[in-house]
Amino acid sequence: MSQNSADEYTYDVMEQSAQYLLERTRHRPRIGIICGSGLGGLADLLKDRDVFPYEEIPNFPTSTVPGHAGRMVIGLLEGVPVICMQGRFHCYEGYPLWKCAMPVRVMKLVGVTHLVVTNAAGGLNPAYNVGDIMLLKDHINMQGFAGDSPLKGRNDERFGPRFPAMNNSYDLGLRQLAKDVAKEIGISDYIREGVYVMLGGPAYETVAELRLLRMLGVDAVGMSTVPEVIVARHCGMTVFAFSLITNECITEYDCDREANHEEVIETANKRQNDLKLLVTRMVATMSVDTVKPVKNGH
């Protein structure tokens, strides 16, 4: 198939990918999780799991980024069936935005109604510290400003409407649930709530670019998430997303430090136990509204 033609990735093609997964697992997940850089350890918590490398799933792209395992994992998280993307796709890998977000549509056809999206991001808000967890309350779709969108091209009403609304993209109830869970597990001091922006990457931002973004009200900067959220909302999914602040954005010219991917992975590894506990507790609570937990693997 052509890499650049969204029209070739029709509803029927997406259904082939979904059926491939459904025929090879007994689980029927209603909750999907997308793991960002260094956060793939979430998928390792799943019990009774079925693992599908991306290259084996029909019509799937493959992940090329360090810290992304590149596989779909379906299993039980605290007895709740979930489907977990252990590694995602980015436009800087050469993929168009619609292809970066295509797995979300596959999740929809698998039966997912609630999507948890995680990412590693640079902290632009001066009040943020490395290791903080920012709950997304909104985003700025910078690539959308330039006329690019994962929804660009012919619209299929079976996925969603031609002109989907993007206000309230990040569910208020799930953000409150995250705050409650954070309090229960003792990490409230690290919880923030803010606005995320996706830039194309893979180069990190200049000082001037970061200063401009701060003027626009951006709190954290990354290279993912927004296309996936747009497609999820187009599909009618309920979305919760958070950024792990893995590095401090450099907004001064006389600074010798440089942003680097190794720092991102290192911070994610230090925080991974807290993040695993946060997501696990949230999924257990979300399941009350989405799917009945499975006990003892049956």
Mean pLDDT over 108-135 rounds to 96
Q: At what angle do helices 97-110 and 11-22 cross, to 10 degrees?
A: 50
Mean pLDDT over 141-150 rounds to 95
- Comparing 39-43, 65-69, 124-128, 202-206, which segment has the lowest mean pLDDT? 65-69
294 pLDDT more than 50? no
Tell me the pLDDT band of 37, cut-offs 50, 70 and 90. confident
Q: What is the pLDDT of residues 17-34, one digit of tens each?
A: 999 999 999 999 999 999
pLDDT on residue 290: 57
Backbone angles phi, psi at 128, to 5 degrees: -85, 145
pLDDT on residue 67: 62
Nearest to 66 by CA among 32, 44, 93, 84: 93
Mean pLDDT over 44-64 rounds to 92
9 pLDDT more than 90? no
Domains (range + CATH), the chain: 6-273 (3.40.50.1580)
Which has the higher per-residue pLDDT, 65 or 96? 96
Gyration radius from the chain CA atoms:
18
Q: Helix, strand, or coil here: 99?
A: helix
Portion of the chain with pLDDT greater than 70, in percent: 94
Q: What is the pLDDT of residues 221-245, one digit of tens each?
A: 999 999 999 999 999 999 999 999 9
122 pLDDT more than 60? yes
Mean pLDDT over 246-258 rounds to 87
Nearest to 119 by CA among 246, 282, 239, 214: 246
Cβ distance 281 to 79 under 8 Å?
A: no
pLDDT on residue 2: 43
pLDDT on residue 297: 42
Q: What is the pLDDT of residues 67-102, one digit of tens each?
A: 667 999 999 999 999 999 998 999 999 999 999 999
Which has the higher per-residue pLDDT, 297 or 61? 61
CA dist 246 and 224 (Å) reads 14
Backbone angles phi, psi at 119, to 5 degrees: -155, 165
Mean pLDDT estimate for the chain: 91
252 pLDDT more than 80? yes
pLDDT on residue 230: 98
- Comparing 70-84, 95-109, 175-189, 259-273, which segment has the lowest mean pLDDT? 259-273
Which residues does residue 196 pair with via DSSP β-bridges, in sequence order? 139, 220
298 pLDDT more than 50? no
- Residues marked active site are found at 37, 68, 90, 92-93, 120, 223-224, 247, 261
170 pLDDT more than 70? yes
CA dist 228 and 101 (Å) reads 5
pLDDT on residue 257: 78
Query: Residue 47 burial (CB < 10 Å; 0-12/13-18/19+)?
Result: exposed
Which residue intervals of the chain are DSSP H helices? Answer: 11-22, 97-110, 142-145, 172-185, 207-215, 226-234, 261-290
Which has the higher per-residue pLDDT, 139 or 291? 139
292 pLDDT more than 50? no
pLDDT on residue 289: 61
